Amino acid sequence: MKTICDNFIFALGDDKEKAILVQDGELLCFKTRDCFNDQIDSEDYVFDKLDWDHINPACGPVYLADATPEDCLKAEIVDIKLAEEGTMCCLSDNGVLGRDITHACVKKCKITSEGVHFNELVLSLRPMIGVIGNAPAEQSVACGTPGSHGGNMDNLKITKGSTLYLPIFHDGAYFALGDVHAAMGDGEIMVSGVECPAEVTVRLSVIKGAKIMDPMLEDADHIYTIASSENIEEAIYKACSAMNKIICQQLGYELNEAGMLMSACGDLQFCQVVDPERTVRFAMPKNILKLDELDSCLKNIRAI
């Protein structure tokens, strides 16, 4: 297994000189830093010191052989090993409660097999990948910003056992990931989850001829469309419209029928509502879609 470490970028882009060549179907281990680039060493940390130009590091990029913009990248999340300590913070004017925050603070949380130790509480582990994506279509995009290329989606469903499908905009895709959380709630309202370094094992492959416009995700029971926009209502529309098209294709329904089915048994969910673009997902049960693997469905489509 190839290990990707000491190769960090702060924007996703098609920088061929930095890229590491990997083969279709290769298993990779990414050794990631936390979203603060491991700068926050204690709860006494003074934020004035933080180098804001070097936050949200992603490990990579990798150049995936045979990947072209006519294809889709498939990233199977095989494992996430967390570090033993996580960091949270809050800052004035940041996040949903930003207007009410009077002073910045840092919290350090021990991470054990029992969970995340938050004061006297032990929270369930929910390891997830915050930043994961390909080089965007146009110029490079800071790792802190999500979009059609993926990026800082902060989607707690991107976890061990799930499979992410990403659009490819450049030959080789230029895939990278980072910003692992030991736990995070939907919305990430204070702008941080329990941020920690990690070792992420991923299998990357190319689905030839499957052109998608925005990320999609699959786990044991659901498929998800994912969309980001500065305007959360636009993100909601994009995620719903993409799912509507999948249902039309998969079940042979028209827009209205597919929409009513979504309204009856699909779930619109927040990923995060605090990053430069907001991210939402729409979940549909696989059994309703008569779908075992999204993979097979994507092979039959030209664009969603």
Residues that bind Ca ion (CB under 5 A): 130, 152, 154, 179
Are the CB atoms for 135 and 173 separated by under 8 Å?
A: yes
Nearer to Zn ion, 87 or 244 (CB): 87
Interface of this chain with Zn ion, residues 176 to 205, rule: CB under 5 A: 179, 195
CB of 180 to Ca ion, least distance (A): 9
CB of 269 to Ca ion, least distance (A): 16
Question: How many residues of this chain interact with Zn ion, rule: CB under 5 A?
Answer: 4
CB of 130 to Zn ion, least distance (A): 4
Tokens at 138, concatenated:
């146009």
Which phi and psi (to 5°) does residue 59 adopt? -90, 125
CA angle 247, 251, 256 (to 5 degrees): 60
Partner from Ca ion, Zn ion, none contacting 34, C-beta within 5 to 8 A by type: none
Nearer to Zn ion, 188 or 214 (CB): 188
The one segment of 138-146, 175-183, 262-270, 284-292 that binds Zn ion by CB under 5 A: 175-183
Partner from Ca ion, Zn ion, none contacting 71, C-beta within 5 to 8 A by type: none
Are the CB atoms for 247 and 194 separated by under 8 Å?
A: no
Closest CB to Ca ion: residue number: 130
> What is the distance between the alpha carbons of residues 284 and 292, in angstroms, rounded to a whole number?
13
> What is the distance between the alpha carbons of residues 255 and 266, in angstroms, rounded to a whole number?
15
Which candidate, 95, 184, 173, 183, places its Cα nearest to that of 133? 173
Which candidate, 85, 127, 129, places its Cα nearest to that of 109? 85
Going by their DSSP bridges, the two strands 128-133 and 175-181 should be labelled as: antiparallel
CB of 131 to Ca ion, least distance (A): 6
CB of 293 to Zn ion, least distance (A): 29
Binding track over 23-52 against Zn ion, x by CB under 5 A: ------------x-----------------
Partner from Zn ion, Ca ion, none contacting 150, C-beta within 5 to 8 A by type: none
**Residue of 115, 127, 130, 133 interacting with Zn ion (CB under 5 A):** 130
Residue located via tokens 């190839």:
2
Residue 180's identity, in one-letter code, is V
Tokens at 114, concatenated:
């029992």
Rounded to the nearest 10°, the torsion over CA 62, 207, 179, 141 is 70
CB of 199 to Ca ion, least distance (A): 18
DSSP label at 195? B
CB of 118 to Ca ion, least distance (A): 18
Cα dihedral 97, 99, 102, 105 sign? positive
Partner from Zn ion, Ca ion, none contacting 152, C-beta within 5 to 8 A by type: Ca ion
Nearer to Ca ion, 130 or 266 (CB): 130
Nearer to Zn ion, 23 or 52 (CB): 52
Binding region for Zn ion (CB under 5 A): 35, 130, 179, 195
